[in-house]
Amino acid sequence: PAQMGSVLNSPLLLHYINCVTDDSVFLRLDYWLGHALQEEFLFCKDANKQNTSEAMEFFNKLITAQHFLQEGFSSCETFIYKFLHVWNGSEYRSQILSLLSWIPMAPVTDMKQLLCEPLMLLFFSSSVFFKCSVIECLNNMLVNWLTWHSVYATEDIDMNLPGHSPMNMTLSELVNSVIELVQFTGRISTIGLHLEGYNTLLLHFVLSFYETVSDMYLKYDMPLVIMPPGGVFYPALISLDPISVNQLCHIMYSKTYSEYNQYVVSMVNCLWKSKAFIRDNHPMGIEINPKLLNETKVAEYRNSFNIVHHPALMGYAIDFFQKKRAYKSYAKALPALKKMGISSVLLRKIIGSVELACGIVLTLVPGRPKDVANFLLLLVMLAVLFFHQLVGDPLKRYAHALVFGILLTCRLLIARQTEERADSSESRNGQVDSQEQNKVKVS
């Protein structure tokens, strides 16, 4: 057993298991893992701190091995399905969810009984952070399934071999399993968002899952297009978080069918045509009676969620006006700029253009121009810090410029030290060559 456990720590042995054609090696390791997992975690009652730390270390090694092999062990699948029925949701949370994300595809009936039912009970009775972890786990599981499909489904490989898949699934069965996973995630996400008051963090993880769903056909060649449910789409559309709106736009990009068209009409009416809350055919749409809206006493309520007045994008507008006001104060604090004909708008354009040009050179151009761009950016940061100090801005207004200036200084110093070391090594080599030549002449 000790030798079997050492395999998980050895990349060389894992390479051997991955490449060898003899299945007995993989089966022996898989059998030992199944026995160790059931004896130590399913049937063992002792759970002191030392055993807990050892168990977490064992789980982490197992997860690392699965990442290395890019596939899960069948014994881990059996253990996870059994452990979900007795798991409290907090013990070894990150490790169990990581192992869960590597389980292979299963028929729809098995998924409902072994995966969906116990996971749903844990999901609805847990905190918002556990809900986020579960959605992330399901996202990783979907990615692993789609990756398996894109790699192996188009190749002439025996899917019954250990290490590829425990069963031979047709394309229709595979599609049905993916549909069930996506629909299950949609159901628990809709209810979970409602229970948590449409928490922004949970909404972000749910939309990340549907970003993967939206890329199934283009990235993984899966002939399937699924839209997010209305309980996810509409809360994201009127969310106060700009990232959620951006994720929703990515999900809705390049899809064509009827439900998608309904969502696009809602988005266009809300964001661009300033016709929010009008008739919506979707059962979970955001249609509101005009009389009720008039009673709210909100002026021009239909414009409240367009691209100009959307609450999620309000922060960018405020930030822009704050910067615009700041440059006006800089121009007023230095009368010399006005005498030179440099207005606040021109000053903002000059600084922005120099930052953009130097950033491009610093990123793409090698050699001496990179150091020159570094030096110019450092001068710009010093000028910005001078302006902030001149008008008496608080530290939080120029902390980013201060940190960026320190990073530019460190990079410039490291570049200079590297050049000096190269010059010194060349001079030493030249001295050695001259000494050798003198020795040859004397001899």
Task: Please indicate, yes or no, if residue 299 is contained in any of the structural domains.
Answer: no
Cβ pair 326, 398 in contact under 8 A: no
Q: Which of 41-55, 105-119, 141-155, 326-340 has the highest mean pLDDT?
A: 105-119
pLDDT score, position 158? 44
Q: Which one is predicted more confidently, 26 or 349?
A: 349
- In which region does residue 280 sit, left (phi positive, over 0), alpha (psi from -120 to 50) or beta (all else)? beta
Task: Please indicate, yes or no, if residue 278 is contained in any of the structural domains.
Answer: no
pLDDT score, position 341? 77
Based on its alpha-carbon atoms, the radius of gyration of the chain, rounded to whole angstroms, reads 30
pLDDT score, position 194? 92
The string of DSSP codes covering 97-136 is HHHHTT-----HHHIIIIIIHHHHHHHHTS-HHHHHHHHH
Percent share of the chain, pLDDT over 90: 13
The residue type of 386 is: F
Instruction: State the CB neighbour count (10 A cutoff) for residue 47.
Output: 11
Compute CA distances 327 → 235, 342, 397, 398, whole Å. Answer: 37, 11, 13, 13
Last residue of one domain, picked from the residues 104, 132, 162: 104
Q: What is the mean pLDDT of residues 403-413?
A: 88
Q: Taking Cα atoms as reference points, which of 436, 378, 366 lies closest to residue 409?
A: 378
Distant-in-sequence, close-in-space partners of 53: CB < 8 Å, separation ≥ 6? none
Last residue of one domain, picked from the residues 104, 135, 157: 104
- Lowest average pLDDT, out of 87-96, 246-255, 355-364, 371-380, goes to 246-255
Cβ pair 422, 395 in contact under 8 A: no
Name the strand (E) or helix (H) holding 388. helix 368-391
Distant-in-sequence, close-in-space partners of 414: CB < 8 Å, separation ≥ 6? none
Its pTM surpasses 0.85: no
pLDDT at position 401 over 60? yes
Task: Please indicate, yes or no, if residue 53 is contained in any of the structural domains.
Answer: yes
pLDDT score, position 436? 63
Task: Please indicate, yes or no, if residue 69 is contained in any of the structural domains.
Answer: yes
Give the mean pLDDT of the chain: 79
pLDDT at position 78 over 90? no
Task: Please indicate, yes or no, if residue 182 is contained in any of the structural domains.
Answer: no
The two tokens of residue 262 are: 């309904």
Question: Which domain range does residue 424 map to?
Answer: 334-438
- Which residue is listed with tokens 């704050």? 322
DSSP class of residue 277 equals T
Q: Taking Cα atoms as reference points, which of 216, 202, 248, 97 lies closest to residue 147?
A: 216
pLDDT band for 159, please (50, 70, 90 cuts): very low
Task: Please indicate, yes or no, if residue 127 is contained in any of the structural domains.
Answer: no
pLDDT score, position 432? 59
Last residue of one domain, picked from the residues 104, 134, 164: 104
pLDDT score, position 163? 40
Distant-in-sequence, close-in-space partners of 218: CB < 8 Å, separation ≥ 6? 254
pLDDT in tens, 21-39: 677 777 777 788 888 787 7
- Lowest average pLDDT, out of 100-109, 165-174, 192-201, 264-273, goes to 165-174
Q: Which one is predicted more confidently, 269 or 88?
A: 88
pLDDT score, position 137? 93
The angle subtended at Cα 280 by Cα 182 and Cα 316, nearest 5°, is 75
Cβ pair 263, 231 in contact under 8 A: no
Q: What is the mean pLDDT of residues 426-437?
A: 64
Task: Please indicate, yes or no, if residue 5 is contained in any of the structural domains.
Answer: yes
pLDDT band for 40, please (50, 70, 90 cuts): confident
pLDDT in tens, 181-220: 999 999 999 999 999 999 999 999 999 999 999 888 878 8
Distant-in-sequence, close-in-space partners of 179: CB < 8 Å, separation ≥ 6? 224, 226
Q: How far apart, in whole angstroms, are the C-alpha atoms of residue 174 and residue 180?
A: 10
Burial of residue 75 (number of CB atoms within 10 Å: 0-12, 13-18, 19+)? buried
Q: What is the mean pLDDT of residues 222-247?
A: 87
Cβ pair 139, 212 in contact under 8 A: yes
pLDDT in tens, 241-290: 888 888 888 887 755 455 667 777 777 777 777 777 776 666 666 677 77
- Range 170-189 burial, b when 16+ CB lie within 10 A, else e: eeeebebbbebbbebbbebb
pLDDT in tens, 285-344: 667 777 777 777 777 777 777 777 777 888 888 877 877 787 778 777 777 777 777 787
Q: What is the mean pLDDT of residues 390-407?
A: 84
Name the strand (E) or helix (H) holding 79. helix 74-83
Q: What is the mean pLDDT of residues 219-247?
A: 86
Q: How far apart, in whole angstroms, are the C-alpha atoms of residue 174 and residue 166?
A: 13
Task: Please indicate, yes or no, if residue 139 is contained in any of the structural domains.
Answer: no
Question: Domain total for the chain?
Answer: 2
pLDDT band for 2, please (50, 70, 90 cuts): low
Q: How far apart, in whole angstroms, are the C-alpha atoms of residue 267 and residue 227?
A: 14
pLDDT score, position 160? 41
Q: How far apart, in whole angstroms, are the C-alpha atoms of residue 392 and residue 385?
A: 10
